[in-house]
Structure 1
Amino acid sequence: MNARDIRSLDVGMLRTFDALMRERSVSRAAQRLFLSQPAVSASLTRLREVFGDPLFTRMPHGVAPTARAEALAPQVEQLLAGMARLLEPQQDFDPATSNRIFRVAGSDFASRWLLAPLSRELVEAGSAIRILWEPTQTGSIAERLRKGEIDLAVIARIHRPQDMQTEVLYEDHYVYVTRRDHPQAGEPVTLESFCAVPQVFLGYGTSTLDDLIDEELARRGMRRHAQLAVSSFGQILHQLRCSDHAAVLGRRVAQAFASELAIRALPLELPRYQSMVCWDGGSSGDVGVEWLRGGVVGISVSGALA
């Protein structure tokens, strides 16, 4: 690239390139950057002129990077990371003067108790910070943190992950729930009734919890009626309200909807779980991520999760 080309390149164009590499779609890249699709398309046109290459070719369901784009991708990623470190003052992070976009992965239940207090703080500070909340079901959390696709994750696990940095927010146990007027709501839960009543799950087939339950039942020669697998706690609660299904939930999740649910002890022993905030070790010097992590921990300490 000659000197004229370098002067034609700006940070916004690099961010567009990076978003297109990650999303492989102009519309999704626009959403990621909080820009319009025409703005992203215009930035891509300028990128093509600067690099003298199409960079991304149109496909039936998005765009595909050219060989030139694939070669540029790691260099652009490194440049953006270096600029972020350069531009963030190495002192206390001030949300009032920042316009960063933070990406957090977590369940809809975690967003229920985190986003309201976080957004209140941002409004009170007059901050231009934007927070994008994403589901945790897509891809490895540790890998997404390492690549910078997300800044933080808020997850619940029986076993504490070893491939990322973590801080425990709270520890809890599992309970058995149905709607309050369920035909069996007033009866103790036995292994037989636990297996007989159809259950709704969060991402069944991908969780340690479900594996543990099924293994424990199998040792006793029993099997439960695993009928519906969904992707959010909101879907579980809707199904419980509208049917005779049951679910195994964390106690704090169930207690948040205690007016609607019959909450009972499980008929089998399960390990406790921990809710935790996770981040990549490489971001430890990022004062913005440290501020956000501190805010999440602070909400937990304040008792907002009780």
Structure 2
Amino acid sequence: MIEKLEVVHLRMLSALYEHGTVSSAAEALDVSQQAVSLQLKRTREIVGDPLFVRSGQGMVPTPYAVLIQPHVRQLLALLHAMPAPGSIPLAALERTLGISATDYTQRIIVIDLIRELRRAAPRVKVKIFNIEGASLVRRMQEGEIDVAFTSNGYVPEGLLSTPLFAERYACVAARPLTEGQRPLPLEALVAHDFLVVSPGVPSFDGSAGTWFEQQGLRRRVVASVPSYFMALEYLRQSDLVAFVPSRLLPREGLFEVPLQKVPPGFQVVAAYHASAAADPLLAWVLDHARARVGPAG
């Protein structure tokens, strides 16, 4: 039964220990005498002991009440020592920050974030996970991952997201495909073989497949890789073309292909679970990410 004791019962017992009368305890707690009497009655029922009995000098603790007095003090001291949300400075925070990110957002956001976090919160460890979708919500609910940096189209249902910046796509190849800055017609572009990046499940569709179909064109995709950094290396050593986020450029050995029009870009967001919305460390991460990334190049 003792597990049914509540904080209000412990505070009432502490006041009776200190003041010795129901009236003085009620005044210290800023409640009515009737409230103290009702709390004492309920506490007696829970522990199976009178706890305090009346005498000419007020309320006298029973032997059992004397026995548990150090425990009551200890429990209340632990409660009072419990930190309030946001009361621990970042510099004193000790925990692990789990980040899920693509290789692109790791390069654009996470590298700088870790460097600054080492200064602001040196006791915080960082664990980086590859981007995923299937189990992201569950792993955030379980506290394994705190934040995911991804595009807005890949945020699973059930998560909150904060926009960070807009990105555009650029077409690149290992050699110039036009003279000067003269735009290359899309009809000429689709004559080349394409490489696409598919970070999750391997696929030949890519993010621009539907867009080409809307232009009445069909491109020929011959290679699919899981990361942009692999894509950039493959492109440097092949005759393939690909669309990559503009913030990864310029890159030695690659040329941006001027086009009449390009596929629509994407919004980079920070996704997180609602249970972490008030987390001061997450708030710092979001503020830092927003401050460090500006409009797309």
Give TM-score scaled by structure 2 length. Answer: 0.60
| Inter-partner Cα distance in structure 1 for 2:83 and 2:153 | 36
Residue 259 of structure 1 and its aligned partner are, at CA, apart by 4.3
Mapped pair 1:171 → 2:166? yes
Q: Please point out which of 238, 254, 277 is paired with 1:243.
A: 238
Spell out, residue by residue over 1:84-128, the C-alpha distance to the aligned partner (whole angstroms, 9 max, x if none).
xx9764125533212211111111121123333333334334712
**What is aligned with 1:299?**
292
| Inter-partner Cα distance in structure 2 for 1:205 and 1:198 | 22
Unmatched segments (≥5 aa) in structure 1:
1-85
Letter in 2 for 1:191: L
Q: Please point out which of 204, 209, 217 is paired with 2:212.
A: 217
Q: Please point out which of 93, 99, 108 is paired with 1:98.
A: 93
Mapped pair 1:272 → 2:265? yes
**What is aligned with 1:282?**
275
**What is aligned with 1:232?**
227
Spell out, residue by residue over 1:20-77, the C-alpha distance to the aligned partner (whole angstroms, 9 max, x if none).
xxxxxxxxxxxxxxxxxxxxxxxxxxxxxxxxxxxxxxxxxxxxxxxxxxxxxxxxxx
**What is aligned with 1:148?**
143
Secondary structure in structure 2 of the residue aligned to 1:196: coil
Matches within 5 A, 1:1-306: 89-125=84-120, 127-137=122-132, 139-157=134-152, 163-179=158-174, 182=175, 184=177, 186=179, 188-203=183-198, 210=205, 213-218=208-213, 222-253=217-248, 255=249, 257-268=250-261, 270-300=263-293
Is contact 2:93–2:121 with CA below 8 Å preserved after alignment?
no
Residue 198 of structure 1 and its aligned partner are, at CA, apart by 1.8
| Inter-partner Cα distance in structure 1 for 2:200 and 2:127 | 27
| Inter-partner Cα distance in structure 2 for 1:212 and 1:288 | 33
Is contact 2:136–2:156 with CA below 8 Å preserved after alignment?
no
Residue 202 of structure 1 and its aligned partner are, at CA, apart by 1.4
Spell out, residue by residue over 1:185-209, the C-alpha distance to the aligned partner (whole angstroms, 9 max, x if none).
5464323332222222111796999
Residue 226 of structure 1 and its aligned partner are, at CA, apart by 0.9
Sequence identity of aligned pairs in percent? Answer: 21
Distance 1:211 1:227, change over 3 A: closer
Is contact 1:168–1:276 with CA below 8 Å preserved after alignment?
yes
| Inter-partner Cα distance in structure 2 for 1:212 and 1:277 | 20
Distance 1:260 1:127, change over 3 A: same
**What is aligned with 1:24?**
none
Residue 170 of structure 1 and its aligned partner are, at CA, apart by 0.9
Question: How much is the aligned-residue C-alpha RMSD, in angstroms?
Answer: 3.4
Is contact 2:102–2:199 with CA below 8 Å preserved after alignment?
no
Is contact 1:204–1:210 with CA below 8 Å preserved after alignment?
no
Is contact 1:169–1:276 with CA below 8 Å preserved after alignment?
yes
Give TM-score scaled by structure 1 length. Answer: 0.59
Unmatched segments (≥5 aa) in structure 2:
1-80
Aligned length: 215
Give the stretch that moved more between structures: 262-271 or 241-250: 262-271
| Inter-partner Cα distance in structure 2 for 1:204 and 1:193 | 28
Distance 1:286 1:205, change over 3 A: closer
Is contact 1:185–1:262 with CA below 8 Å preserved after alignment?
no
| Inter-partner Cα distance in structure 1 for 2:221 and 2:200 | 10
Spell out, residue by residue over 1:180-239, the C-alpha distance to the aligned partner (whole angstroms, 9 max, x if none).
xx1625464323332222222111796999566333434565421211111111101111
Distance 1:117 1:251, change over 3 A: closer
Residue 131 of structure 1 and its aligned partner are, at CA, apart by 0.9
Is contact 1:176–1:264 with CA below 8 Å preserved after alignment?
yes
Distance 1:262 1:156, change over 3 A: same
